[in-house]
Amino acid sequence: MNAITLRVKNAPGFRVDGSKLLPVELAVASRTELPRIVLQGAGETCALGDLFDIALIENEEPSLTIEGDVHWLDRIGANMTEGTLTVHGSAGDYAGIKMSGGELHIQGDAGAFAACEMQGGRLSIHGDAGDFAAGALPGDMEGMTGGTLTIHGNAGARLADRMRRGTVLVAGDAGDFAASRLIAGSVCIGGKVGAHLGYGMRRGTVLLTNAPSRIPPTFTEGGRGFDVFWLLFTRMLAREIAPFSTCAGHVLPRRYAGDLAVDGRGELLIANS
């Protein structure tokens, strides 16, 4: 097995599909095979060696590191099952789409549809994420179904749309329609939220550390007896990023149920209020 580092040499003038760049698959390739790997672009193709300088360390745990800004490289970590993939820069759209295992770390920003239909593993974005993070592809009925997405910056619109399972943590703000049509799972937002929070939400948990400017009219306040859940939930959050690591387990949040327009049984928790 090999540990591989790709350093950006030439940025193409078109978007490139990076779904072939997976740690385990590249780990078994030889020094002569790696530069010849063909990547599909927008009506064009390019070889890996044309885009990157390639460094390889043999007999290491399978890992892949991409050094440089690759906002033009889409589908990084797509269908990833194991290993570690790190991007020291920004990434394109569909990062971590349908990944089911392993770890994907993006030190910069990510484009739209990050963690789209993610099934497992861990994706961390140290900058901002675009629209539809942890959501569903157009026409599909389920978004994220497992794993953990951590966004240290802000998230765009439709965060966790149609999400069914898993955990989403956003340290900053989220755009309009956050947790829209949520089926299950946990969505935690540390900053401000846009309009139509929890639109069409059926089940699941949304945690806000700051009260929104307006509670959706189809959510009703109330609910008791979730002390044990809150204690366990905040213990889990204590292992994660701020501001969620500062949620006090013994201080119960305000709780709202909804979206009642769809007979929803989800819960909206507002901490520190």
pLDDT value of position 37:
95
**What residue spans define the domains of the chain?**
1-66, 75-270
pLDDT value of position 2:
81
What does the pLDDT look like over 113-123, one tens digit per residue? Answer: 999 999 999 99
pLDDT value of position 249:
61
Q: Is the pLDDT of residue 273 over 90?
A: no
- Give the H/E segment covering residue 48: helix 48-51
- The whole-angstrom separation of Cα 220 and Cα 124 is 33
Q: Is the pLDDT of residue 239 over 90?
A: no
What does the pLDDT look like over 77-89, one tens digit per residue? Answer: 999 999 999 999 9
Average pLDDT over residues 237-254: 79
Q: How confident is the model at residue 65 (pLDDT cuts 50, 70, 90)?
A: very high
CA distances from 230 to 68, 92, 234, 247 (A): 41, 36, 6, 10
- The whole-angstrom separation of Cα 242 and Cα 257 is 25
Please give the sequence-ordered ranges of beta strands (E in DSSP) within the chain, or none if there are none. Answer: 2-8, 16-17, 38-40, 45-47, 52-58, 63-67, 73-74, 84-88, 103-106, 122-125, 145-151, 165-170, 186-189, 205-208, 220-221, 254-258, 266-270
What does the pLDDT look like over 1-60, one tens digit per residue? Answer: 789 999 999 889 899 999 999 999 998 888 899 999 999 988 899 999 999 999 988 877
pLDDT value of position 125:
98
pLDDT value of position 263:
85
Per the listing, tokens 């703000």 go with 173
pTM of the predicted model, to two decimals?
0.93
What does the pLDDT look like over 29-45, one tens digit per residue? Answer: 888 999 999 999 888 99
What does the pLDDT look like over 92-115, one tens digit per residue? Answer: 999 999 999 999 999 999 999 999
Q: How confident is the model at residue 144 (pLDDT cuts 50, 70, 90)?
A: very high
